[in-house]
């Protein structure tokens, strides 16, 4: 489930002799508590955006030494966390385009809110 081995729930359940459903329940409880427990065996670059954002939030106030320790515990690299932090900041930095802006970019004429040639 987590670093460093990234075993699947099935593999861990077999190894520990417990039912796999028990592991899924534990994982869900940990995630609800804010723990970073990825839903897949993928390496951290393949994690979902919510897992990456959780890491960004957890590391926001850490100095370089603390960040290094955090990353070692979770099988991450500080550079990954920096990229994820930048991606989170960039996601909110770009303004959304209005419908009018989108039409301008596409070069579509605007006639009373309708695009010409689309009505029968």
- Residues 1-46 pLDDT 10s: 555 556 777 788 888 888 888 877 887 887 777 676 665 556 788 7
- pLDDT at residue 69, rounded to an integer: 93
Please, what sign has the CA dihedral across residues 46, 50, 53, 55?
Answer: negative
Contacts of 108 (CB under 8 A, 6+ apart): 115
pTM over 0.85: no
């Amino acid at each position: 489930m987590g670093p460093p081995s990234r075993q699947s729930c099935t593999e861990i359940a077999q190894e520990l002799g417990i039912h796999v459903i028990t592991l899924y329940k534990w994982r869900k409880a940990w995630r609800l508590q804010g723990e970073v427990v990825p839903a897949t065996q993928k390496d951290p670059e393949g994690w979902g955006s919510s897992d990456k954002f959780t890491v960004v939030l957890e590391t926001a106030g850490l100095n370089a030494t603390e960040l290094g320790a955090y990353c070692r515990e979770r099988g991450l690299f500080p550079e990954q966390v920096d990229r994820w932090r930048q991606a989170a900041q960039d996601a909110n930095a770009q303004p959304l385009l209005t419908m009018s802006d989108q039409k301008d970019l596409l070069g579509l004429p605007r006639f009373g809110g309708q695009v010409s040639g689309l009505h029968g």
